[in-house]
Every structure is written in structure tokens, then in C-alpha cells.
Structure 1
């Protein structure tokens, strides 16, 4: 069964939002690496002083291996993530329900 992962990264959302266009090729490359390592779905959202990542992964271990990559963490810092604030990570087993859409 897959897992749903939410990652709340504190940082500068203006820098992050600009990077989505300015560094689009890097995001695509990272996305490809994620899919090769077990990512099923991926989406970003922004809030007041944070970036939210909502993913679905084949397993928590696959996500943990991907997210612990020092290169990825350096990239996060370079696109607005605050290197002094640890991300808030929540992982839960994906389940089906009658109201799922």
C-alpha cells in the first residue's frame, strides 16, 4: 500500500514561486528522479511563509531515501527553503474510502 507524505518547508515563498519558472528544468529533473525512486503523485502549495509538498510514494522508505539526498536539500535551500528550520514531515498509509475522489 502506498503512503501519503506532506512536507511543510519554511522559507521565502516569493523566491520559491519565481524558481518554478526560472529553474523549471531542474524541477523536471528532480521529478524524474523521484518517479524512478517510487514517487506516484506530487504537488506543491504555498502558504504564509511556507511551501507545502503533498506526495504519494510507494513506501515511506522510498520517500525517506529520496528526501535525504544532500543534493536535494541543497536545491531546497537555493529555491527559498530556510536551511535553519527543519521541515515538518507527516507520513500516513493511503487508504480507500467511499468519499474518495
Structure 2
């Protein structure tokens, strides 16, 4: 069964949102790497001083390997993440429910 992973990354959201268009090819390349390593679903949301990453992964271990790659940390810093603040993680096992859509 897959896992749902929510990651709250603190940083400069204006730098992040600008990078989504200016560095789109890099985001697409990383997304493809994620899919190859077990990502099922991926989406961003932007809040006041943070980016929320909402993912579904085949396993928590696959996510940890992907997210723990030092190149990922470097990329995050280059698109506005405040690397001095640790991201907040929430992980849960995905379950089916009658109201799922």
C-alpha cells in the first residue's frame, strides 16, 4: 500500500513561484526521476513563507531515498528554500474510502 507524504518547506515563496516558470525543465526532470523511483502523485501548494509538497509514494523508503539525495537539497536551496530551517514531514499510509476522489 502506498504512503501519503506532506512536506512543509520554509523559505522565500516568491523565488519559488518564479522558479516554476523560469526553471520548468529542471522541475520536469526531477519529477521524472521521482516517478522512476516510486512517486505516484506530486503537487505543490504555496502558503505564507512556506511551500507544501503533497506526494504519494510506493513506499516511505523510496521517498526518503529520493528526498535525502544531497542534489535535492541543493536544488531546493536554489529555488528559495531556507536550508537553515528543517522541513516538517507528515507521513501516513494511504487508505481507500467510500468518499475518495
Residue equivalent to 1:31: 31
Residue equivalent to 1:21: 21
Alpha-carbon distance in structure 2 between the residues aligned to 1:63 and 1:91: 10
Map 1:1-101 onto structure 2 (within 5 A). 1-101=1-101
Alpha-carbon distance in structure 2 between the residues aligned to 1:40 and 1:54: 11
- How far is 1:10 from its partner? 0.2
Alpha-carbon distance in structure 1 between the residues aligned to 2:65 and 2:85: 20
Number of residues paired by the alignment?
A: 101
Q: Residues 54-81 of structure 1: CA distance to partner in whole angstroms, max 9, x if unpaired?
A: 0000000000000000001100000000
RMSD: 0.4
Ranges in structure 2 where 5+ consecutive residues have no aligned partner = none
Which aligned segments of 4 or more residues in structure 1 are displaced greater than 3 angstroms?
Answer: none
TM-score normalised to structure 2 length: 0.99
Q: Residues 10-68 of structure 1: CA distance to partner in whole angstroms, max 9, x if unpaired?
A: 00000000000000000000001000000000000000000000000000000000000
Secondary structure (helix, strand or coil) at the match of 2:41 reads strand
TM-score normalised to structure 1 length: 0.99
Alpha-carbon distance in structure 2 between the residues aligned to 1:99 and 1:26: 35
